[in-house]
């Protein structure tokens, strides 16, 4: 199963990715992770990417695509993969298609987890994080037993400074503007499946499995 997972920040992508990886026995390829790995191991591409990152510039598509392509050619991707965080643009999607065609494989599905903006804002604004252990809670959906205190370690809970309604709202708008052309691209190809991400997380996963038809 060769898959791409799309979804705005706060859509529960991490949880669903973990479920997909387990059920379909495919590696989870997060572009953030493979970038960090290439930089740490000082690969040619990692060194190049770091030059841009250190200057606060976006890493050009050709480097991003080359790093992903290297990863997809590793043995564990032979039977499939779950791509997360890539592609971000139609240009990258085209380059990915080309790379897969050269490998004589193709994408099965692009799973798009859809959640209304208002709901995403509510999820982010209510989030509380433990200062000590990093555990996350939600004042409404997953409250700690004692207000402001971590269930796991007793540490103090805090709200991230950028989890305000205004910044979250902006973050989501940027995501939507950036991603809509990509969603249209895969819709045109007939491989996009849109999943209602506002349901119970188990139901979201069931819907993904149904949409993948396996
Ligand atoms: Zn804690």
* Sign of the CA dihedral running 69, 75, 78, 84: negative
Look at residue 134 in the predicted model and tell me its pLDDT: 93
User: Whose structure tokens read 């209602």?
Assistant: 196
88 is catalytic: yes
On the question of pLDDT at 46 being above 80, the answer is yes
| pTM score of the predicted model | 0.86
154 confidence band (pLDDT: 50, 70, 90): very high
Tens-digit pLDDT profile for residues 59-85? 899 999 999 999 999 999 999 999 998
Class of domain 2-115+164-212: alpha beta
144 Cα: distance to centroid of ligand 1 (angstroms): 10
Radius of gyration of the chain (CA): 19
Percent of the chain residues past pLDDT 90, beyond the cut? 84
Binding-site residue set for ATP: 10-15, 127, 136-137, 199
């Amino acid at each position: 199963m060769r898959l791409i997972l799309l979804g705005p920040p706060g859509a529960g992508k991490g949880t669903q990715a973990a479920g997909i990886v387990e059920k379909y026995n495919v590696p989870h390829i997060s572009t953030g992770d493979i970038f960090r790995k290439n930089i740490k191991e000082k690969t040619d591409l990692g060194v190049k990417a770091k030059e841009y990152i250190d200057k606060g510039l976006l890493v050009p598509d050709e480097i991003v695509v080359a790093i992903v392509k290297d990863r997809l050619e590793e043995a564990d991707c032979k039977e499939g993969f779950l791509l997360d965080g890539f592609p971000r643009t139609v240009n990258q999607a085209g380059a990915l298609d080309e790379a897969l065609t050269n490998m004589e494989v193709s994408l099965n599905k692009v799973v798009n987890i859809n959640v209304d903006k208002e709901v995403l804002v509510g999820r982010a604004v209510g989030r509380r994080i433990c200062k000590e252990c990093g555990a996350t809670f939600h004042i409404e959906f997953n409250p700690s037993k004692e207000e402001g205190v971590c269930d796991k370690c007793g540490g103090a809970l805090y709200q991230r400074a950028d989890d305000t309604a205004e910044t979250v709202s902006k973050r989501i708008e940027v995501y939507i503007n950036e991603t809509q052309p990509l969603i249209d691209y895969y819709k045109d190809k007939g491989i996009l499946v849109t999943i209602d991400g506002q349901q119970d997380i188990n139901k979201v996963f069931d819907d993904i499995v149904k949409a993948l038809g396996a």
